[in-house]
């Protein structure tokens, strides 16, 4: 009895993230088809999850599951996940390394995007170089078509966010494309 208690206590003192990342890797099979085995998606229709912040990934999976963020592919993919699964998956994907995007970009348009981002002070939330922090997502190196879609969704109200809604409200399609080229190139 005494021995059993000691074993349990030892297990509890091990860092929990170790368990979570390992469990997350095992649970990520069903995500790999769209998001890539290491969270670097091979199709630009799907966002990469590698190197995204843990807090943000967790919140987004939960939002798809609860229906506050809508996408038919994602709501099907997350329907069976428990809260522990979501935490493990967030731990796993946040620990992977995001590779630079291979999207074709134009230096003049990137410059334009950089100027718009500076004026709008996007980095106040997204952090220098758009590397993200906690609930503020990393957007550097993200897939170009995905960024364009998200900014349009925020602007048009298809994706609801108190913060990004007003930010994207007055952006033109051209400005959105310039911002997306800039972000994908980082
Ligand atoms: C059939 C394809 C598909 C599968 C399978 C899938 N996803 Fe997704 N996922 C998507 C698409 C498409 C989006 C972008 C939706 C949108 O446009 O808002 C997305 C978005 C996400 C996001 C938000 C990313 C961001 O930057 O905001 C997270 C997190 C995510 N998926 C996690 C997962 C996890 C975890 C799994 C496995 C349990 C999974 N997905 C399985 C297609 C898929
Ligand atoms: C006041 C803080 C704040 C500012 C300023 C801000 N953002 Fe965001 N941004 C957020 C938050 C929070 C989210 C996540 C929203 C959610 O939970 O759905 C987000 C989400 C995004 C996303 C979607 C990321 C993904 O993976 O789906 C993009 C792209 C983005 N922001 C770009 C920008 C750009 C470009 C600017 C400047 C023009 C900007 N943001 C300014 C806080 C901010």
8 A C-beta contact, residue 151 and residue 179: yes
pLDDT tens, position by position, 129-152: 999 999 999 999 999 999 999 999
Nearest atom within ligand 1 for CA of residue 73: 1
Give distance in angstroms: CA of 78 to centre of ligand 2. Answer: 23
Overall CATH class of domain 2-94: mainly alpha
* Residue bearing the CA closest to ligand 2, atom 40: 122
pLDDT at 20: 74
Q: From CA 127, how far away is CA 143, in angstroms rounded?
A: 19
Q: Measured from the CB, is residue 86 less than 6 Å from ligand 1?
A: no
pLDDT at 17: 52
Domain 107-185: give its CATH code.
Answer: 1.10.760.10
* Residue bearing the CA closest to ligand 1, atom 12: 46
For the cut 70, the answer to whether the pLDDT of residue 11 exceeds it is no
Nearest atom within ligand 1 for CA of residue 60: 29
Q: Where in the chain is the domain with CATH 1.10.760.10?
A: 2-94, 107-185
Q: Measured from the CB, is residue 164 less than 6 Å from ligand 2?
A: yes
pLDDT tens, position by position, 81-128: 999 999 999 999 999 999 987 788 899 999 999 999 999 999 999 999
Q: What is the dihedral of CA 83, 88, 89, 91, to 10 degrees?
A: 130
């Amino acid at each position: 009895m005494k021995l059993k208690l000691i074993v349990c206590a030892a297990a509890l003192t091990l860092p929990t993230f170790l368990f979570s990342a390992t469990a997350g890797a095992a649970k990520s099979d069903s995500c790999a088809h769209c998001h890539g085995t290491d969270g670097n998606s091979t199709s630009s229709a799907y966002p990469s999850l590698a190197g995204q912040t843990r807090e943000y990934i967790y919140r987004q999976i939960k939002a798809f599951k609860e229906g506050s963020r809508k996408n038919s592919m994602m709501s099907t993919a997350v329907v069976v996940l428990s809260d522990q699964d979501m935490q493990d998956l967030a731990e796993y994907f946040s620990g992977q390394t995001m590779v630079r995007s291979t999207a074709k970009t134009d230096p003049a348009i990137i410059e334009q995007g950089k100027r718009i981002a500076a004026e709008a002070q996007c980095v106040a939330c997204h952090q220098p170089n758009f590397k993200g922090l906690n609930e503020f997502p990393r957007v550097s190196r993200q897939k170009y078509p995905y960024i364009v879609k998200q900014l349009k969704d925020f602007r048009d109200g298809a994706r609801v966010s108190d913060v990004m809604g007003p930010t994207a409200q007055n952006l033109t399609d051209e400005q959105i494309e310039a911002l997306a080229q800039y972000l994908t190139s980082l």
